[in-house]
Structure 1
Amino acid sequence: MTTTWIAAHRSAVINPHEAFHLFEPRGFTDRTVRQSLRLAGGGEALRIRLSNRYGKEPLHIGGAHLAVRTRGSGIDPGSDTPLRFSGSETITVPVGEDIVSDPVELPVSAGEELTVSLHLPDDTGPSTYTAVPYDIGHAVPGDQLSAEVLEDAEELPTGHYLTGVDVLAPLGTHIAVAFGDSWVEGAFTTPGADNSFPARLGRRLTRGWIVNQGISGNRLLTDEVGEHLLARLDRDVLAVPGVSHVLIHIGLNDIGLPGAQSYPEPPTDIPSADDLIAGLTTLADRIHAAGLIAIGGTLGPYEGTVYDGVDTPEGQAVRRQVNTWLRGPDHPFDAVVDIAAAVADPDRPARIRAEFNSGDGLHVNDAGAKAIADAIDVTLLDL
């Protein structure tokens, strides 16, 4: 059977030196950092992707191990495998660069949980990181790469340096990339349960799978939390091996975060509906130019959110106009999924239904993510 490398896991990363952060960046000195992930698809071998994209200094990795996760920070010691990079167990990652490990001959399947442990002997400075990782990570002093369990470990609320896993899968395997903001990334769903709506949707597919390139706080048009969607399209979607479809939810932070940052003064830089429509059209056109299928998503409801300054009359008007356009005949996407309708309160459609509300009025819980996934016609993702 002819095989090729296909993305089986992705974590979109952000710059710790940005002006605005939803989560506190951090760095490490002489620590073993252990982080887990769940594979969206399987293959007969795999390779790990790490990044020093936003580091200010070269990143020295004193060792990296891969293992099957058991529970918490625990690993199956029989599966513990050193990772190599061009044959070496240590590597220095230059500033601004990503690296890929040598292949590991380990058959893996969809849904399998793996753990990557990194020994970081030097002062890393603030790390290139993922705001909402798959699960809580752990760190301990020194080199404990092969420890079965990390005793008295510090818990890490964010993911560090780990950007993806590729698997060696049959030629012709195709995947979708879920691309967008916190609704895509799965903020406020249960950590470690893999309950974001793209993950739940992926488990409904009969062939292929979905990898997640969401960034909480991300925007379509301007940088704020992470580079904006149009700026990161090439790297986070078009360069992903095996991608054939792109599923999008974006725009809430364009119209909501300006109000939060200017509160209590009226927001002055909310984009118009025409601005967002033009940006979404450009996004769809670039996806089509790469030969991929573009699936748009309506902007989710958020009326009554607890975050000061986010829910404004101006922002709600823009959201309504953009969603009307997306539901109409003139949008440029191959299809549109009505994410908003799947979780909206039928009596107040600008608000999330109570049973789907995570508690902040802006994000859905596990049940809401399931409702979105269940509402999407899987035949749109003919992978």
Structure 2
Amino acid sequence: MTTTWVAAFRSAVIDPSQFSFNQPLSFTGMTLRQILHLDGGGTTLRVRLSNRYGTDPLSVAAARVAVRPAGGRGGEIDPETDTGLRFDGRDGTTVPAGGEVVSDPVELAVEAGTDLVLSLYLPEKTGLATFSHQPAETGYVVEGDAVSATTLAGAREVGARFYVTGVDVLAPEGTTVAVAFGDSWFEGVGTTTGANRRSPNLLNRRLERGWVVNQGIAGNRLLADGIGEHALARFERDVLQVPGVSHVLVNFGINDLGLPGMWGQPPVTAGELVAGFTELARRSHEAGLRILVATIGPFADSTYPGLDSPEVREIRRTVNEWIRGTDVFDGVFDVAAAVQDPERPDHLRAEFDSGDHTHLNDAGAQAMAETVDLGLLKL
């Protein structure tokens, strides 16, 4: 059987100098342990480390991967699976400022749904850390070199993910990989931390073959930078460069409409959003990808000041009518219709509301995942 490298996990990162979200952003003489819930599996893997937004080289003295045992808690690992990562044959590596490194291949069989545990020992002060700011997963930090420790007693818990952008696996040639490219409704804000109830996770449980990797960034926008580079700017890196990608699922719009209001700026126009979605479709088709686009979900009466307004509600309705009726995409998944209150369609249904009237809870993420026609993800 012929195999090829494909993405089995992705984590989209942002610049900590622009947005910190109250997370620790520098490490000195510490072990950082992170849980990576794999979307796909294979016989061999490699890990991608990033210092994309760092201003100084990142020294990694030791790096290891292991599987978290079934029922395992916190940063616990199965010691029988504990495996060292090497980089060009060496135990450690230095990731240049603005750069990325890929580990040497490691023979460690993993499956979709495996919790892969990545441990990094960072001996020197790192400077501001390239990170994913709201991954709906907990990381663990302890002093010293504890990369092979079965458990991390007294570890400090952190709510972000640092320095890792992906895991690739060797999988059968022809394996289809879709990229969930969007904002917090993909990244998982509002869902239960550590439960892997993000909408792409739940979509994966419906698939019989292939899988979806998650490139959502909470607060991200289609048209303008803010929390992370905007979608049109990061599309090449976070979609087209993903190995094995065949489809892209797009979910943007809430932050283009609402975040400007939070910052005292006017929302984008319906025409500007239509132009942005159309450009994503053009680039996807030019690259040979199929593109599926979500309608923009409701967020009336959001608890985030300035996010909601009558003007924003009307623009959302206009853009959604266009998304449902256009033929520029290969498919549409009507998230708005699935999660809106039938009596008040600008509002989330109460049973899907995480509590802020803006983000989906676990049940809402399930409803979102069920809107995707699986037939549209087949080649």
Asked if these proteins are the same fold (TM beyond 0.5), I'd say: yes
TM range (shorter): over 0.9
Give secondary structure in 2 for the equivalent of 1:198. Answer: helix
Q: In 1, are the aligned partners of 2:136 and 2:189 still within 8 Å (CA)?
A: no
Deviation at 1:98, TM superposition (A): 0.9
- The residue aligned with 1:11 is 11
SS in 2 for 1:218: coil
- Look up the match of 1:29: 28
- Separation of aligned partners in 1, 2:291 and 2:50: 27
Q: Secondary structure at the match of 1:275?
A: helix
CA distance in 1, matches of 2:136, 2:168: 16
CA pair 41-323 structure 1, distance change in 2 beyond 3 A? same
CA contact (8 A) 2:58 2:97 kept: yes
The alpha carbon displacement at 1:374 in A equals: 1.7
- Deviation at 1:24? 3.7
What is the alpha-carbon distance in structure 1 between the residues aligned to residue 22 and residue 250 of structure 2?
23
1:60 aligns with 2:67: no
Q: Is 1:103 the counterpart of 2:105 in the alignment?
A: yes
Structure 2 counterpart of 1:283, which letter? L
What is aligned with 2:289? 292
Return 5+ residue gaps in structure 1 as ranges: 263-267
CA distance in 1: counterparts of 2:275 and 2:169, whole angstroms: 36
Structure 2 distance, partners of 1:345, 1:22, is 31
**What SS class does the counterpart of residue 277 from structure 2 fall into?**
helix
1:354-383: CA deviations, max 9, x gaps? 000000000000000101112321111115
Corresponding position of 1:47: 46
**Does 2:218 match 1:216?**
yes
The code of the aligned residue for 2:366 comes to: K
Which residue of 2 is the match for residue 186 of structure 1? Answer: 188
Query: Take 1:56 and 1:271, find their aligned partners in 2: how far apart are those partners?
Result: 33
Match of 1:106, SS state, is strand
By how many angstroms is 1:23 displaced?
A: 4.6
Alpha-carbon shift at residue 132 of structure 1 (Å) = 1.9
Q: 2:82 aligns with which of 80, 83, 89?
A: 80
* Runs of 4+ with deviation above 4 angstroms: 20-23
TM-score w.r.t. length of structure 1: 0.96
SS in 1 for 2:48: strand
Partner of 1:153: 155
Q: Which moved more, 1:359-368 or 1:314-323?
A: 314-323
SS of match in other structure, 2:42: coil
Match runs of 1:100-249 below 5 Å = 100-249=102-251
Q: Write the distance in 1 (CA, Å) between the matches of 2:245 and 2:353.
A: 31
The CA deviation at 1:211 is 0.2
Contact residue 13 and residue 129 of structure 1 kept, 8 A: yes
Q: CA deviation at 1:77?
A: 1.2
Question: SS at 1:49's partner residue?
Answer: strand
- Once the two structures are superposed, residues 59-92 of structure 1 have per-residue CA deviations (whole angstroms, 9 ceiling, x without a partner) of 0001001011132111111111110000001111
Paired residue total: 376
> Does the alignment pair 1:372 with 2:371?
no
Deviation at 1:201, TM superposition (A): 0.7
Match of 1:306 in 2: 303
Name the SS for the 1:200 alignment partner: helix
Identity of aligned residues (%): 56
Q: How many Å separate the matches in 1 of 2:15 and 2:24?
A: 9
What is residue 353 of structure 2 aligned with on the other side? 357
Rounded to whole Å, the distance in 1 between the matches of 2:154 and 2:188 is 28
Distance in 1 of aligned mates of 2:147 and 2:14: 26
User: How far apart in 1 are the matches of 2:159 and 2:372?
Assistant: 30
- Mind listing any 5+ residue stretches in structure 2 that lack a counterpart? none
Residue by residue, what CA displacement relative to the aligned partner does 1:323-379 show, whole Å, maximum 9, x if unpaired?
Answer: 010111x34111111011111100001100000000000000000010111232111
Cα distance in structure 2, aligned partners of 1:188 and 1:336: 23
Output the CA distance in 1 between the equivalents of 2:23 and 2:273. 29
Structure 1 position 21, deviation (Å): 4.7
Is 1:344 aligned to residue 340 of structure 2? yes
Contact 1:23 / 1:131 at 8 angstroms: preserved in 2?
no
Q: Which deviates more from structure 2 when the two are superposed, residues 315-324 or residues 50-59?
A: 315-324
How big is the shift at 1:133?
Answer: 2.4
Residue pair 1:16, 1:129 contacting (<8 A) in 2 also: yes
Q: Is the 8 A contact 2:136 2:191 kept in 1?
A: no
TM-score (norm 2): 0.97
Q: Which residue of 2 aligns with 1:265?
A: none
**Partners of 1:16 and 1:25 within 8 A in 2:** no
Q: Distance in 2 between matches of 1:340 and 1:365?
A: 15
Corresponding residue for residue 279 of structure 1: 276
Residue identity in the other structure for 2:343 = D
CA change 1:25–1:341 in 2 (3 A) is farther
Q: Deviations over 1:287-318 (max 9, x none)?
A: 11000001011000001111111001121111
Cα pair 1:118 1:145 within 8 Å, conserved? yes
What SS is found at the alignment partner of 1:204?
Answer: coil
Structure 1 residue 108: Cα displacement: 1.0
**2:322 is the counterpart of 1:325:** yes
Q: Per-residue CA shift, 1:244-282, capped at 9, x if unaligned?
A: 0000100110110111122xxxxx331100000001100
